[in-house]
Copies of this chain bind each other. A is one copy, B any other.
Amino acid sequence: MTGSTLPVAVDAMGGDFAPEAVVEGAKLAFAAGVNVLLVGRPQELGDTGDLQVLPATEVIEMGAEPATSVRRLKDSSIVRAAEAVRDGQAKALLSAGNTGAAMAASLLRMGRIKGVARPAIAVPFPVFGAAPTTLLDCGANAQCQPEWLVQFGRLGVVYNRVRWSVERPRVGVLTIGEEAGKGNDLVKEACGLMEAVDWDAAGAHYVGNVEGRDLMAGVADVVVCDGFTGNVVLKSLEGLMAVAQEQLQRALRSNAQVAATASVVDPVLAPVFRTLDAGQTGAAMLLGTRGVCMISHGSSSAETIAHAIGTASKLADENVVGSLRTAVEAAAELGHHPDA
C-alpha cells in the first residue's frame, strides 16, 4: 500500500550486456530489499529467481530512432515498463537501453508534469569529498529556449535536495567565462532570466557563471545548459576517462618492475577510477515526467544496475515527482511560465 512495496520496473532488454547483466543486477537489488518487476522476453531472461516478470515481446535496439520506435513497438520492454509506472504497477522505471527511447516512452506514456516545458536529463558529475554536481540538460533537448534553462535550474534544485540531501543547492549556468555577459546568445539571455529569479524562495542560491573546468570542482550543486552542450561535455569526459584509464593502466604494466607493484598500487587507484567514472556509472534521471525514469549507461554492469535500481526506488519513495510538481506550481503562481 505504500510506495515502497511497489516494484521498480526494469527494462530487462536494454543495455550492452542485456539481459544477463540487467537480470543479475535486478537480483542484487532484490536481495538488498528492493522489489523489482523485470520487463522483457521471458524466454530470454534465464533464471529470474523470485523476481516478478512482465512479458513484452519486442525490443527497441540501441541505435533505433526513439520516437518512431516507441510509437511502432507498442509491446517493447521499455514501453511496457513505462506503462507499468503509469498504471501504478511500478513506482519507477530503470533502463540501460536506448536513452532516447526511454525518454520518449516516459514522455508519451507517463506524460509531463503540468507546467514543465521540456523534461531534462540530469547527470551527476563526481566531486571528490562532496556531493556530485548535477548537470542538466545532458541530451533531452538539443535546441533550447532560455526559459527552459531556468526551469531546469528549478527542477535540478529539487532533485539535488531529494537525492543528496543538499539543503540549499547552489545553482549556476554553464558558460565560457567568469564575468557576467560571457557566453552565446542562449546563455546570455538565460543568465538574465536566472538573475531575476528569487532563488531564496526556491530554497537555493544562485552562483552565476560556471565554467567547464568547475564541473568537478564542487563550486555548484546544479549547473544548467542546453542538451547539446551537456551531452557533448558528458561524452567528452567519458572519452577522456576511457583513454586516461587505458593508458595509465597500460603504463603500470609496461615493464616487469612496475607490474610487480600492482598488488600495492591497484587497490589505491581503483577507488579513484571508480569515483571518476561516476558520470558513467551513476544513473541519470529524466526530470519533468509524471513518474521516475532513471537511465543507466549502456555499458552498465550488474552492480551498476543494482545501484541504479536502489536509487530509483529511493527517489520514488521520497516522492521526488511530487516535490518537482510542487516547485513547478510554485513558480507558475509567481507568473514564471517557461513557455510564456
Minimum distance in angstroms from A157 CB to a CB of chain B: 22
- How many residues from A make CB contacts under 8 Å with B? 58
Over the window 124-165 of chain A, the binary record of Cβ atoms lying under 8 Å from chain B Cβ atoms (1 yes, 0 no) is: 000010000000000100110000000000000000000000
Known: A247-B272, A247-B276, A257-B264. A216 touches B187 (CB 8 A): no
Name A255's closest neighbour in chain B (CB-CB). Answer: B268
Chain A interface helix/strand/loop/mixed: helix
The residues of B that contact A217 with a CB separation of less than 8 Å are 239, 243
Bound-complex Cα distance A94 to B183 (A): 25
Interface centre among A216, A226, A234 (most CB of B within 10 A): A216
**Copies of this protein, total:** 2
- With beta carbons under 8 angstroms apart, the residue of B143, B183, B254, B271 that contacts A228 is B183
Bound-complex Cα distance A296 to B227 (A): 30
Q: Is the CB of A139 within 8 A of B176?
A: yes
The residues of B that contact A228 with a CB separation of less than 8 Å are 175-176, 183-184, 187, 229
Known: A241-B240, A258-B265, A268-B255. A184 touches B143 (CB 8 A): yes
Q: Is A242 an interface residue (CB 8 A)?
A: yes
- With beta carbons under 8 angstroms apart, the residue of B128, B231, B248 that contacts A212 is B231
- With beta carbons under 8 angstroms apart, the residue of B142, B215, B232 that contacts A174 is B232
Q: Is A114 an interface residue (CB 8 A)?
A: no
Name A244's closest neighbour in chain B (CB-CB). Answer: B276
The residues of B that contact A239 with a CB separation of less than 8 Å are 211-217
Bound-complex Cα distance A241 to B257 (A): 26
Q: Is the CB of A268 within 8 A of B254?
A: yes
Name A138's closest neighbour in chain B (CB-CB). Answer: B176
Known: A139-B176, A240-B241. A265 touches B261 (CB 8 A): yes
Minimum distance in angstroms from A192 CB to a CB of chain B: 15
Q: Is the CB of B176 within 8 A of A247?
A: no
Q: Given A212-B231, A240-B276, list of 8 further CB < 8 A pairs?
A: A142-B176, A176-B228, A212-B232, A232-B233, A241-B244, A247-B275, A258-B268, A265-B265
